Chains A and B, each alone.
Chain A
Amino acid sequence: MIEDDIYRASSQYRLWSYTESSLQSLRATTNAVASERVRAALRRSRETHQSTASSTAGTPLPESNTEAKNKDEKDVECLTPEEELVLVRYYCEKTLELGETYKPPIPTMVRATAIQYLRRFYLTNSPMTYHPKSIMACALFVATKTDNYYISLRQFADGIPGDTTTDDVIAPEFLLMQGLRFTFDVRHPFRGLEGGVMELQAIAQGQGQPAPHLPYETAEDLQQGLLSIAPPPVPSSSMSDRIARAHGTTRELLKSAAQMTDAYFLYTPSQIWFSAFLLADRPLAEFLLDVKLGGPVTATIPAPETDENGLVNPLYEIRSKLHHVLTECSTLLQSYTPLSSDPAQMKSLKRIAKKLYHCQNPEKVNLAAQKRESTQPSTAVQSDTGTITSESETERLAKKRKLEQEQIVRQNDDVFGPELVTQRTKQ
């Protein structure tokens, strides 16, 4: 189909479409590489710490403390890919909330773009390396730039509750863009849903037109067909009312479930909205599919014909494959429940956040500070290679970072809800 080839040209299809297994193995690789780096970084920081401790004699650390710390670092337990995913999802939900705090709220499409940026970024980056809370605001800011809703950085930073600085927002921009492989276009299912609904409304009003490959149906046939479908899950006063209701339900699903699951990686935008539409009003969605592809369920269309070459009608083949794919996608969308509304999930999230506190890569914690360093060549530390030129300098910086890190942790906890604060302050 021509429309499908048009989609195949998009960067979303070319670079950001996966099979379930390739997605899984990619996440596993990312996690393995990041875990290795975290362990190495912790080892390095411990070594520096020890050497500086011995050099600055006179104030030796209490032995028990050092031992405990060493033990702790040796056995540092890294996040699993599954745990990383839960964490990222939580911050995707937070992105949605953050967008809501602006006046006027940032449009749904822009927020959805930001969420997909986060999800794409964390395919090749680990939350252990870059904490999602530091990436999240940047993702939303970049989305305002790429989706024609540009807000100045100052204005944007002011809109974030708490005292997030412009530097905090912009620091990871380059990193984020690199993680996005410099593809900024995200194809959403929202506009497609509008198109589908417009088609249905036209058919309901007797103004519909048949699909190019099924040209024998008249506007009246289509209208009659629509009026004779099975009743909706919730009774409605008129067909156009029913369509509007399904439209609303679908839109909500697309704003939430479609954003928070792997739907964008595994399916195309049109498949996603159709799947959500099936959940909202199955008979209505199936009617539209039947109109477009000829369905096995409609009596007016003859059973799958075979042409002179003995080949199955290609439309029928597509229709049955599509049935399978849409069912899968619907199941995926249905499986989603917001983390914040589910105590069991919240509990596990807290556990993961606690775990992350111990396995956060210390060399990547403060991006804003790092960015400043990278633009100041006088600084004697090359953060990327860990090459050390001056021990005391390194130590000073490490301390500074630690301070900054704690400060940021506190700041951001203020911003993004109280749930995580309790366990952090315990530390």
Chain B
Amino acid sequence: MLLFGPINFVDELLLKTGLGQQTINHFVWPFIQIGLVVTLVAGWVAYATYLERKISAFMQARLGPMRVGPWGLLQPIADGIKLLTKEDFVPEKADRWIFFFAPYIAVAAAFITFSVIPFGPDWAVITDVNIGLLFVLAVSSVGVLALILAGWSSNSKYSLLGALRSSAQMISYEVAMGLSLIGALMFARTLSLSGIIGAQESDAVWYFVYQPLGFLIFLVSGIAENNRAPFDLPEAESELVAGFHTEYSGFRWSLFFMAEYAAMVIVSAVATTVYLGGWYLPFVYRFTEAKGYHNLYVIVSLLVFLAKLSAILYFYFWLRWTLPRFRYDQLMDIGWKWLIPSALINITLSASAIFVVQALNGWHGLKTIDSLANGVDLTATGKAVMIVMGLLGVGIAGLLLARINWRSRDFNLKSQRRGIRLVNVPQGKPAVAVIAPAAAE
């Protein structure tokens, strides 16, 4: 019965302790939710590392962690104990206080963001701020500060280079990320994350259908924002040893590690919310809430959200273990020459698509434009037009940018590439070098 009824029993219990209804609503409940979310997220982050190790292992023809517990299931716990008991080493010439506090900034910035993520309807969201999306973008960009401080205070050249790279990278990709969301916001007409899901629910559509280009840009810049491969330049192992956290060890290092995984979960959560409909799945409402099973509805929606989020996480893992790493200048090229222009094109195209659809519904002169302020009310034809325009947008942006970037070196790689020649020199000839005519010039 617990699953199906409204979750009043906790309220009743709390009321018996003598607390007022106000205190419970604004003080006790948020704490319960925060405690739950922080515990779950921390545990989840730990198991995300386990999953990543397992997935990478299966991609690489090996087994991954197998020793601690069945199938190595207790490996994250063993890792945690190991990291906590390690020496907390501080380099002699490090700026001690900044060095101490940088990891806390990173982890705090990553975890605070979870307060506005709508994991499900009703009680599954801690707080629904009406500027939720802005809050996520703003707070998660505080994470850059932690990286810069960590890199600077370590007093190591590798850390400094890593920090410089990360600041340049995250700042420029934040622009693309923010711009890519605008297209979806034009449909949702709200910044509240729950509101965005609600808008998709009432339209019965996931916004990646209308916004394929925006979704792509968001995914790519999300990877870069999280410093994940192929954009993991701030911690490029083969060049900068470990980048900004080269000098960190033990617990402080594990905080950076947790912050990275938490940030990855957040980006996946935002992508899920804005483009994949969040916890909304058709028919769930009809079979649960409509029949009076409120808590079942919340729980099923929560699982739907987690499933979508995991799919995006898996995509990130997959990319990391498949692709080589970009170089620093190439990364900047992608950000400034491709992602930001195509995000701008996306905004323009989305706006004109909305205008066209509205005009198709009936042209009333300037009143049509005024009516846009009240939101887009899409008919079936309107939806079809929107989807076609969305797909066209990908093509248009691709073609336009290809034309602009035609002369750049990185675009014409295939034409610069040469094949190899096979030469069968006769055996035992005196050793005279045959210099290829092309190369001799």
Is A bound to B? no
Interface residues of A (CB under 8 A from B): none
